[in-house]
Amino acid sequence: MNTVSNFLDGSPIYSSKSIYADRLRQFLGGKLHLTEKQLLPSSPDPNDNCDSSSTFGQCPCYLTGDSRVNQTPSLAALQTILAREHNKIAEGLERINPHWNDEKLFQEARKIIIAQLQHITYQEWLPLCIGREYVTRFKISPIGLYSYDYDSNVNPGIINAFATAAFRFFHTLIPGNLMVCPSESHDKDENLRLSDHYLNPSIMEYYENGLEAILRGTIYQPAMEADTSFSSEITNYLFKSINSSGIDLISMDIQRGRDHGLASYNVYRSTCGMRRANTFEELSGEISGDRIVLLKSMYEHVDDVDLFVGASMETDVHGSILGPTFQCIVGEQFYRTRVGDRYFYDVADMPHSFSSEQMREIKKASMARLICDNSDVKKVQPRAFEMISEHNPMCDCEDLDRIPMIDLQYWKESW
């Protein structure tokens, strides 16, 4: 059964169900609950998707809109800065609109947070995955100040092949180690085994400058190559606890596709405009010869090849980290998610649409600014999803030209 919303609506922060959402709110000043240290509150259930055994002590099972927050310290860090950003926005709105009540402050702050998430996802992250030229050619990402693309005939629901295969390909990017950087000088950097910290975000509480150490590590550490190799930390030790071994995530990915009744790779490649193969050799336009040999050794017929396996074997499309089949499925999903959502942040001429001044401010949002404003990290590259380079250098968070900041003055309401 579906347990989360199919829209990009911030539900991991706020939850999709009011019975859970209310537990997250202070009901004062429009804010979410945070601890005195400005960390996420603890779940009332000490075993809430969390491992009670911890290297640093009792594990703090965090409470958010999605219990998967506890799966890795990096997820917990991301959820923390988003919750802090919500409260920062709520405080800013209250300063300029002291007549707004708690509900108004909460919903307006939530609306701004969701808009930032959508903007960052489509403008910063997605083009790196499926290619800038591809998102432009097929109008997957918004163009211009406003969008007039909303279409009530477009189904924004999640495509089965996306959820159970295409979006799982990104598991190939997961490094086997978790880099933590307690200081800006990087003189105390450490690489921790990822498997020692599954379901255990205690680094946040018990490590020196835990949140900042994780955030610096994530913006400094490269992802693994987008290929057919996966770290043993997820193929042998996923969710390892006191056991010597864990689960194989990639086997689960393949089996999940079968459980969901996905058609074969051959069907999906033809759906995406490529020729349907009658023999393994006819895959040579998209898959290299050595990989075709591997497929032949595992499958009796080309129609038997699982979508996850076959599409993972494809050569990357220029400018993308995906082959043509997964590029097609991921691109189609993100197109539908945007065009089929009448509440998408840049939709024009709706009662809930942002004003032009507000929209210009929203489009200043970036992952770099979220990190700068909601942690003690002092330096970050402006394009935080990309490695530090000559064209993407580390710069001070105070450099508003490189990392602009949203100005809330355009939300001031006269009364």
Give the separation between CA 83 and CA 39, rounded to whole angstroms.
9
DSSP assignment of 145-191? SSB----TTS--SPPHHHHHTGGGGGGGG--SEEEE--STT-TT-EE
The predicted pLDDT at position 47 comes to 65
User: Do residue 88 and residue 206 come from a single domain?
Assistant: yes
User: Do residue 217 and residue 274 come from a single domain?
Assistant: no
pLDDT digits (tens, 9 = 90+) for 278-299: 999 999 999 999 999 999 999 9
Residues 6+ apart with CB under 8 A from 10: 65, 82, 110, 113, 114, 117
Give the separation between CA 25 and CA 14, rounded to whole angstroms.
9
Q: Mean pLDDT across the stretch 328-350?
A: 97
Task: List residues bridging with 178 in a β-sheet.
Answer: 192
Which of 340, 360, 379 is a domain's end point? 340
Q: Mean pLDDT across the stretch 3-32?
A: 93
**55 close to 200: Cβ distance less than 8 angstroms:** yes
Q: Per-residue pLDDT for 274 more than 90?
A: yes
Burial tier of 361 (Cβ tally within 10 Å: 0-12, 13-18, 19+): buried
**190 close to 224: Cβ distance less than 8 angstroms:** no
**First-residue to last-residue Cα distance in the chain:** 46
User: Do residue 61 and residue 187 come from a single domain?
Assistant: yes
Q: Which domain holds residue 260?
A: 153-174+224-340
Sign of CA dihedral 46, 48, 53, 55: negative
Give the separation between CA 245 and CA 240, rounded to whole angstroms.
6
User: Do residue 124 and residue 169 come from a single domain?
Assistant: no
Residues 6+ apart with CB under 8 A from 227: 172
Angle at 133 between CA 127 and CA 139, to 5 degrees: 80
Burial tier of 153 (Cβ tally within 10 Å: 0-12, 13-18, 19+): exposed
Which of 159, 161, 177, 157 has its CA nearest to residue 169? 161
User: Do residue 212 and residue 89 come from a single domain?
Assistant: yes
pLDDT digits (tens, 9 = 90+) for 176-229: 999 999 999 888 899 999 999 998 898 998 888 999 999 999 999 999 999 999
What's 125's domain CATH number?
Answer: 1.10.640.10
Lowest mean pLDDT among 8-22, 53-67, 70-84: 53-67
pLDDT digits (tens, 9 = 90+) for 87-146: 999 999 999 999 999 999 999 999 999 999 999 999 999 999 999 999 999 999 988 999
Burial tier of 146 (Cβ tally within 10 Å: 0-12, 13-18, 19+): middle
Which of 177, 184, 175 has its CA nearest to residue 209? 184
User: Do residue 264 and residue 312 come from a single domain?
Assistant: yes
Secondary structure of residue 25 in the 3-state scheme: strand
Give the separation between CA 355 and CA 352, rounded to whole angstroms.
9
User: Do residue 167 and residue 139 come from a single domain?
Assistant: no
Strands 177-180 and 395-396: unpaired
The predicted pLDDT at position 48 comes to 65
Q: pTM higher than 0.85 for the full model?
A: yes
User: Do residue 266 and residue 371 come from a single domain?
Assistant: no
Q: Mean pLDDT across the stretch 158-165?
A: 96
User: Do residue 189 and residue 293 come from a single domain?
Assistant: no
User: Do residue 409 and residue 310 come from a single domain?
Assistant: no
User: Do residue 351 and residue 406 come from a single domain?
Assistant: yes
Q: Mean pLDDT across the stretch 50-55?
A: 62
Give the separation between CA 323 and CA 204, rounded to whole angstroms.
36
User: Do residue 210 and residue 300 come from a single domain?
Assistant: no
Place of tokens 């880099």: 179
Sign of CA dihedral 368, 71, 227, 320: negative
- Element spanning 14, H or E: helix 11-14
Q: What are phi and psi of 193, to 5 degrees?
A: -65, 130
Which of 340, 369, 401 is a domain's end point? 340
Which of 305, 324, 340 is a domain's end point? 340
Count: domains in the chain? 2
